[in-house]
Amino acid sequence: MNEAVIGVRGEADRLLVDGLRELRPVFERLGDNALVVGGLMARLWLFAEPIEIEPRATGDVDLGVDRKGLRIGGDRRIVAPLLEGVGFEPRAGEEQFRFVKDLDGGAFPVDLGVAPGSSRNEPPLLEKGIETIEIPGLAYALERRTTMHAKFVEGGAAEEFELPFPELDAAFVLKGALCKKGVRNRADRRQRDTVDTVCLAAACAGNEGSMDALAASRKRADVKAAIGWVRDNFAAADSAAARRVQQHFEEESGTSAGGEWAAGVVARFSGLLEERGA
């Protein structure tokens, strides 16, 4: 079983645990038809498969919804009623895909997205009345579903969750394909996505099963996009992407070798793929 054990360090982590607790009946109802993606996905995988640097914190949940698996179409509504049933309220306008619940520690958001091509509408529909966003790489992730046992520990107490997750290789594809798509242009988001992608590449490089899966699926457009993005953007330690990782290292730990580390990770990752014919 995939397992991540996380020490609760502050209010942001407590808010995350509270939010996951509120979402537990939603996860149970949706099963593996809605995967945890985004920053929490990256963070938990990097606790489950540790690398040289500590995972960055995150305080929300992103869900990739399998419309086909849930048989969403026409007037059928499934996801929104479940969230509303546990007290999450939808945002309006351009943020219809975001549901928020006010908890003791603050507002806790859940963002919803679908795989490219799963809705013929533009913007795509989650279900009737809710326009959402496309998540590059989600189609691959839905084929590579697993479960993450997440254990949050504080003092002598622990809170445990069984979360629907993509496999490690699919987590890399989700982040890498998002970077390749270039739809998140805000500097802080671009930096987070870049750091997550190279960290997940490092975790994959230490996991033979993940490398085998990526090599076997190398001709898929989303897998090809993610692999191509890291190869193209980390050819040197002073590339723009490597400098974003460098900045993250400097801000988080005061170290100055982030760019070199990132370029080295991608060189090893790429070499392992080449050994497998990818």
Question: Which of residues 140, 166, 192 is at a domain's end?
Answer: 166
- Give percent of the chain with pLDDT exceeding 70: 99
Token match 């809705």: residue?
119
Is residue 227 located within the same domain as residue 189?
yes
Output the pLDDT for position 252: 74
State the CB neighbour count (10 A cutoff) for residue 108. Answer: 21
Is residue 24 located within the same domain as residue 130?
yes
Give 54 or 14, the one with higher predicted confidence: 14
Output the pLDDT for position 85: 96
Is residue 199 located within the same domain as residue 159?
no
- Give percent of the chain with pLDDT exceeding 90: 75
Is residue 115 located within the same domain as residue 48?
yes
Give 133 or 256, the one with higher predicted confidence: 133
Question: Which of residues 166, 190, 208 is at a domain's end?
Answer: 166
Residues 6+ apart with CB under 8 A from 210: 167, 168, 169, 172, 203, 204
Output the pLDDT for position 195: 93
Question: Which of residues 141, 166, 191 is at a domain's end?
Answer: 166
56: confidence class by pLDDT, cuts 50, 70, 90: confident
Predicted model pTM: 0.94
Output the pLDDT for position 184: 74
Is residue 115 located within the same domain as residue 210?
no
Looking at the predicted structure, is the pLDDT value of residue 10 above 80? yes
Is residue 60 located within the same domain as residue 115?
yes
Is residue 96 located within the same domain as residue 12?
yes
> How far is residue 84's CA from residue 94's CA, in Å, rounded to a whole number?
19
Is residue 94 located within the same domain as residue 194?
no
Output the pLDDT for position 24: 96
Pair 259, 195: CB distance under 8 Å = no
Is residue 154 located within the same domain as residue 114?
yes
Is residue 146 located within the same domain as residue 183?
no
Residue range(s) defining the domain that contains residue 149: 2-166
Domain count, the chain: 2
73: confidence class by pLDDT, cuts 50, 70, 90: confident
Is residue 151 located within the same domain as residue 213?
no
Is residue 176 located within the same domain as residue 141?
no
